[in-house]
Amino acid sequence: MFDKVNDSRRGFLVKLGMVFNGLVASALAVPVGRYLLSSVTRGRSNSYLSWVSLGQVSDFPEGETRLATFKNPNVTPTDGETAQIPCWVRRVEGEQFQVFAVNCAHLGCPVRWFPQSGLFMCPCHGGVYYRDGSRASGPPERGLFEYPHKVDNGLVTIHAGELPTPGPSAALNGEKPSCV
C-alpha cells in the first residue's frame, strides 16, 4: 500500500507534510530548549554571584569561628527558608578572615565547628577539617570550600550565590572563585 502511495502525487504531499511538521517542530524546539536550559545559561559568566554582607567586622571576635547567615542573592518568591544560607566565618586577626561554606567537600552535608578541639566535623561520613579549613581526615579529597571575601566599609562581604559542590567547578586553585 505504501508503495502505491509513494508513487502518487499524494505520497509526495505526505512527504511534504512530514518535512513541514519537522520544520515547525525544530523551530519550536529552540525556545523550548532555551527555556529548559535557562538555569544553565543564566549561570554563565558567574552572573549568579554577587557580593553579600555578613555583618560588621566587630560582630566576629578575633581568633574565633562563628556561624553567619546571608540571604541568597538570587532569591525567588517561592524560596521560603531556603533563601537563607549559612557559612562559617573565621576571623584570624584584624581584618584577616576566612569564610567557609558549611557544605562538606565530600558530599555537601553541613559541617559543624567544635571550638574546643578546633575541628570541623561532618555528621554524614565523618569528614574532618582543621580550623583553617584544610582537610584533616575522612573521605573528603580537599579542604572546605572558601568564599572569596573582602572587608568593605567595616562590613565582611563574600562573593556568593552558588551551591559549592566538589566537582571540577569547585577547584580551589585556579582562576575561578572557590565557591563557584
Partner 1 sequence: MRVIYKIGEWFDQRLQLAAPIREAVEHPVPRNTASWWYVFGSAALTVFILQFVTGILLALIYVPSAGEAWSSLQALNHDVTLGWFIRALHGWGSNFMLAIVLIHMVQVFLFGAYKFPRELTWIVGVFLLLVTLGMAFTGQVLRFDQDAYWGLGIGASIASRVPIIGPVIVKLMLGGPTIAGATLSRFFTLHVFVIPGTLIGLVALHLLMVLKLGINEWPMPGRLVRRATYVNEYHELTKKDGAPFFPYAIWKDMFFAAMVLAAVAACALFFGPFGPGGRPDPTIIQTVPRPDYFFLWLYALLSLLPPSMETPALLIGPVVVIFILLLLPFLSGEGEKSWKRRPIAVLTVLLIAIVLGTFTHMAETAPWSPHMNAWSGDPIPQKFLHGSTALERQGALVFQAKQCRNCHSLEEVGGERGPSLDSVAVRLNQDQLIRQVIQGGGNMPAYGKNLSPAETTALVAFLETLRPVGHAPARDASRAVVLEKNSEATSTQP
Interface ranges with partner 1 (CB under 8 A): 36-37, 39-40, 42-43, 48, 67, 69, 72, 74-86, 102-103, 106-112, 114, 116-119, 121-126, 128, 130-131, 136-141, 161-163, 165-170
Min dist CB 61 to partner 1, Å, is: 18
Q: Which is nearer to partner 1, 92 or 128 (CB)?
A: 128
In angstroms, rounded to a whole number, what is the distance separating the alpha carbons of residues 140 and 134?
Answer: 10
In angstroms, rounded to a whole number, what is the distance separating the alpha carbons of residues 161 and 164?
Answer: 9
Q: What is the 3-state secondary structure (H, E, C) of 31-75?
A: HHHHHHCHHHHCCHHHCCCEEEEEEEHHHCCCCCEEEEEEECCCC
Q: Which is nearer to partner 1, 10 or 42 (CB)?
A: 42
Q: Which is nearer to partner 1, 21 or 69 (CB)?
A: 69
Q: How many other CB atoms are found less than 10 A from the CB of residue 109? A: 14
Q: Which is nearer to partner 1, 74 or 98 (CB)?
A: 74
In angstroms, rounded to a whole number, what is the distance separating the alpha carbons of residues 33 and 31?
Answer: 5
Min dist CB 31 to partner 1, Å, is: 17
Min dist CB 42 to partner 1, Å, is: 8
Longest dimension (CA), the chain: 88
